[in-house]
Amino acid sequence: MSAGLVVYRALGGIDAIDEHSRRLVGALRAAGVEARYVPEGLGGVRGTRAPWVLLQYNPFRFGRAGFAPRLLAQALALHAPLALMVHEAWIDIRDARSLLIGGWQRAQLRALLLRAGTVLANTQSLAAELGATHVPVSSNITPLPVSKAMARQRLGLGDGLVVGLFGRSNPSRALDHAETAVAALEPQTVLNLGADAPSLNAPGEVRTPGAQAPDELSLALRACDLLLLPLTDGVSTKRTTLMAALAHGVPVVGLDGQRTDAMLRSGPLTLTPAGDPQAFARAAVALAADRDRLRAQGEAGRRLYEREFDWPHVARRVAAALG
């Protein structure tokens, strides 16, 4: 039997969707589904007779500002059944420029939706908007089998409060929330993780290691007492950083925004309204001060991940949707 194809346009460097694609193929194979990853985009599967082609869709990977007419032509010319996994749909419209770009992105995705037989989306809100099946992402970082004490020893950290930050230097990361919380927490060490993590104005030791291998990131997460995820659109099931924290049993303080899933609002996370740095800081301080609550939230988050978000669950949802 020919293998189904997971297709993306990987441009090199650190790319969460590229890694997601590779891990998804591995999880599908482990579940008994024949699958292969094609990182060259739909141009790399021209003429295929595969039982299905799953396009990992982020418009910005297929054209400047998400303008990708070639992708539409390739989708229309595809002989195999097309499925979409929508990771990014379109930008919000705020001004004339975003109206032009966002309008095109909406038209482009709507055209792809007409071509696709199966549509998946990585948040509950986006799935409802597109009439798609909700399939969360999973963690791209496999937890190392080490204790917090061992991780801290390897990293040369003491017994004081260690706070993690995880995310890229982009508008979705509310740096003011992070800096306000760190100033209130006064941790021994801040681990400012991510390939292009922004510089942080914070007291005490701040480590910004830059790009790291998955095992190095896992060791850092193991060392953390809590992780700050102040994302302006809210923590959601599209965020591999959130999934990595849950998989490692690290308590999360995040924002409740427009993309926050209902299943996370009722889950073991500490969430505050987006746009209120002081509320975010107060919640982080209250959580850090209660060691029993910290431990309970971390363990509950790990159980939630293992029950809902681990790769075997994601693979089963994808396989069921593909039929």
Coil/strand/helix, residue 192: strand
Q: What is the mean pLDDT of residues 159-164?
A: 96
What's the alpha-carbon Rg for the chain, to the nearest Å?
20
Q: Is the pLDDT of residue 1 over 60?
A: no
- Together in a domain, 88 and 189: no
pLDDT at site 200: 86
Structural domains counted in the chain: 2
Q: What is the mean pLDDT of residues 186-208?
A: 90
Q: Is the pLDDT of residue 210 over 80?
A: yes
Give the Cα separation of 175 and 154 in Å (integer): 28
Coil/strand/helix, residue 94: coil
- Together in a domain, 58 and 152: no
Q: What is the mean pLDDT of residues 246-263?
A: 96
Give the domain CATH number at 46.
Answer: 3.40.50.2000
In a domain, 143, yes or no: no
In a domain, 316, yes or no: no
In a domain, 105, yes or no: yes
Q: Is the pLDDT of residue 313 over 90?
A: yes
- Together in a domain, 175 and 126: no
Q: Which range marks the domain in which residue 240 is found?
A: 148-309
Structure-token match 């959580």, residue found? 287
User: Which residue, 76, 102, 135, sits at the end of a domain?
Assistant: 135
> CA–CA distance from 95 to each of 16, 98, 173, 275 (Å)?
29, 5, 21, 20
User: Model pTM?
Assistant: 0.94
Give the Cα separation of 186 and 168 in Å (integer): 23
Q: Is the pLDDT of residue 173 over 80?
A: yes
Measure the CA dihedral 234/237/243/246, to 10°. 70
pLDDT at site 169: 66
- Together in a domain, 239 and 217: yes
- Together in a domain, 60 and 128: yes
pLDDT at site 181: 97
